[in-house]
Structure 1
Amino acid sequence: MVAKRETFGGSLDDVRAFCAVVDLGTVTAAAASLRETKGSVSRRITRLERTLGATLMARTPRAISPTAEGLAFHARAQESLALLDEAVETARDARTVPAGHLRVTTSVDFGIEVMPEIVASFREAYPQITVEMVNTDARLDLAANRIDLALRLGRAEETGYRAVLIMNLQIGLYAAPAYLARRRAPAAFADLAQHDLILARGRPNDGLLAFSDGVGGTESVRIEPVIRAGDYATVLRLTLAGAGIGYIPSLVAAGAVESGALVRILSPWAIRTGSLRALSLAGRELPARVRVFREHVSLALRRRFAVEPDRS
């Protein structure tokens, strides 16, 4: 429920001053506690009464005491101030204490093939943080969808967000051992014409792909796929099934290569294609839960791909 603005238009400092006078018994004691003058505290109470349209304190030349209305207001005001202080402390802790719920979005293929192990190790390190993965190829608006962090692959296009580079990307050619048992592995790019190729994401059927060896050599290759898919996760599955040579990001293919289910073809030739970036809402400081997750993802990927560094 949204708080109604018209319920109170005064100063919280005035409310705190009134509560201090009731709690401590005198304006003098309240002023010392608040490090203000007696006149300042008295003016705060008068201003609060004027704002509320009620007499909160009964005044005599020698004493000041709360009225019945003042006692009733004090009881509820103290409760509200305690809740507000708790909310402020929670907000401050969010910047320094890694805890709470984390909502992360990334592409379907990256979310399925790469993130599970990373999320599992993160949860082991930070059990006080719950994680919600939103895997979609749609580029969600972070504020509208309450997203804490977006892991974006490809070219840096979006503006208005805080973006941190995690790593540069490369796409290579991969095949299953079962496919290579039937078809001899290509020794040169010209040999690809004799193979079944699998592509994803809107590449033109007769498109030219520019491969690099990472040390200055380049090769333009015309790719004519026999199978096309809407995402790299599907290309990976088709390649694992032995349907052909798949054009797959090294991040997505890594697990299958490590297990021996896929073999890199024509290594070290690859296509350097953008980067993996972590996007968050621009602001003064990230919540601790977002910051430690971003650092965990970056460290996990650097460790995993230390054997296959990006040379671009």
Structure 2
Amino acid sequence: MTRRLPDLEAWAIFAKVAERGSFAGAAQELGLSNPTVSKAIARLEARLGIALLSRTSRRLSLTEGGRASLERATRILSEGEAIEDEAAEQSTIPRGLVRISAPLSFGIAYVGATLPAFLDAYPEITLDFALSDRRVDLIAERFDLALRIARLEDSSLLARRLCTVRILLVASPAYLDARGRPTHPAQLMDHAALAYTGGGPRGVWRFSHPLFGEELVEPPVRIWTDNADMLNPALLAGQGLALQPEFLVWRELREGRLEIAMPEWTVPPLGLHLLTPPSSLRPLRVQVLIDHLAKALATPPWDEPA
């Protein structure tokens, strides 16, 4: 037998009528009409098959069945009021858990540094970061937002571009002095590549030139890795060239420890994007984190003057 859902609204109205001692008083406090209150009580009594209230022209009193039901009805009313109060408070005071996906190297190097100020400002928010270069499914894996460095494909996700991330062909000056400075992608076949495996077809490097168009090359690879941070020690030690995101090498470039090779040939830049599920309605705890990250990451340090 399928049970009907309890008429929680009517039980809450019954509790308020009992508290105020009149239909009119309950209607005024609840912002309802007298007929609405009267119909709710009649609905309950018809459903139960018993009278809950005894009505005379001068007096309203609880029946035996009404007295037996009042405690739980009052609990329904108070629990409902508590839920609404808590939900309303959530809309004005950010609190609760926010789940975020972010790239591993970028998250450690740049996102982590923005968090102390956020935690100070919002002491009732808890952050759960999943750092990985894997492209997570925000909806299926129940993430509130993701930072993603990519050229985005069309999707139902909402995307906000925060800044540009250039991909640079770099090597140490000592390596280029010893092996020669290439001027065309074809010359990379005579060099040693240090390759990140998460950015596209494995081992294929794509370059473009304003006059000579596009060139694809698959140079011989000394190191494969799914985390670009791992390549910097080998780069600095003169073991090869690598296509690295600017955020991982900008300090070394300014200090002269690395050099941009073949600068006339460029790789299409990526964007740092903030992604959220398709609904434009989101909890305040998520929105304040979005605003914080957008402000903190919109002007990255590699774009600031030396």
- TM-score band by shorter chain is 0.7 to 0.9
1:137 equivalent to 2:133? Answer yes
Q: What's 2:37 paired with?
A: 41
Task: Supply the RMSD in Å over aligned alpha carbons.
Answer: 3.4
Q: What's 1:276 paired with?
A: 272
Out of 170, 173, 176, the position equivalent to 2:169 is 173
Separation in 1, partners of 2:259, 2:77: 63
1:299 equivalent to 2:295? Answer yes
What are the superposed Cα offsets for residues 256-278 of structure 1, whole Å, 9 maximum, x if unpaired? Answer: 657x5953414586422442222
Out of 213, 222, 227, the position equivalent to 2:217 is 222
- C-alpha displacement of 1:285: 1.9
- C-alpha displacement of 1:149: 0.5
Q: Secondary structure at the match of 1:294?
A: helix
- C-alpha displacement of 1:308: 5.8
Aligned residues: 297
Q: Secondary structure at the match of 1:276?
A: strand
Contact 1:95 1:285 in 2 (8 A): no
Contact 2:53 2:62 in 1 (8 A): yes
Separation in 2, partners of 1:254, 1:211: 21
1:78 equivalent to 2:74? Answer yes
- C-alpha displacement of 1:23: 0.9
1:233 equivalent to 2:226? Answer no
- C-alpha displacement of 1:104: 0.2
What are the superposed Cα offsets for residues 58-100 of structure 1, whole Å, 9 maximum, x if unpaired? Answer: 3334322123442343322333333333333433444443322
Separation in 2, partners of 1:242, 1:278: 35
Q: What's 1:123 paired with?
A: 119
Percent identity between matched residues is 27
Contact 1:189 1:221 in 2 (8 A): no
- C-alpha displacement of 1:123: 2.4
Contact 1:105 1:134 in 2 (8 A): yes
CA separation of 1:131/1:192 partners in 2, compared to 1, >3 Å: closer, same or farther? Answer: same
Q: Runs of 5+ in structure 2 lacking a partner? A: none
Contact 2:98 2:126 in 1 (8 A): yes
The two structures have a TM-score, normalised by structure 2, of: 0.79
Q: What's 1:265 paired with?
A: 260
Letter paired with 1:70:
G
The two structures have a TM-score, normalised by structure 1, of: 0.78
Any residues of structure 2 matched to 1:11-50 within 5 Å, and which?
A: 12=9, 14-50=10-46
Separation in 2, partners of 1:257, 1:50: 81
Q: Secondary structure at the match of 1:271?
A: coil
Q: Runs of 5+ in structure 1 lacking a partner? A: none
Separation in 1, partners of 2:257, 2:235: 8
